[in-house]
């Protein structure tokens, strides 16, 4: 699939950066590819945090915007946030 602006939601932030959620059926390997968030280059800043929620598998990833040239956005691979329940 492709990036969908409707999946990106700003949760808050300040002059030091913003926190976003991004919900998509795309796997993290697709979402963390350089250029995936290019259509939102005007909103995302370096060091912004994006929590990526995969609607196909019960996973979330904590990603950071690594670079933004104004046209090309690259985010980190992401740290998985496991959705488990051990009880």
Dump pLDDT digits (tens) for 46-70. 999 999 999 988 889 999 999 999 9
pLDDT tens-digit readout, 29-52: 999 999 999 999 999 999 999 999
Mean per-residue pLDDT of the chain: 93
Q: Closest Cα to residue 55, out of 30, 34, 87? A: 30
Asked whether the predicted pLDDT for residue 16 surpasses 90, the reply is no
pTM of the model: 0.91
The predicted structure's pLDDT at residue 87:
79
Burial class (CB in 10 A: 0-12, 13-18, 19+), 79: exposed
Domain boundaries, the chain: 5-82
Pick the CATH number of 5-82 from 2.40.240, 3.40.50, 1.10.10, 2.120.10: 2.40.240
């Amino acid at each position: 699939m492709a990036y969908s602006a409707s999946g990106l939601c700003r949760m808050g932030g300040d002059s030091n950066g913003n926190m976003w959620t991004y919900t998509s059926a795309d796997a993290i390997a697709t979402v963390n590819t350089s250029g995936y968030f290019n259509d939102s280059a005007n909103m995302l800043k370096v060091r912004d945090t994006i929590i990526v929620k995969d609607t196909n598998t019960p996973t979330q990833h904590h990603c950071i915007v690594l670079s933004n040239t104004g046209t090309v956005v690259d985010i980190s691979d992401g740290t998985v946030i496991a959705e488990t329940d051990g009880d």
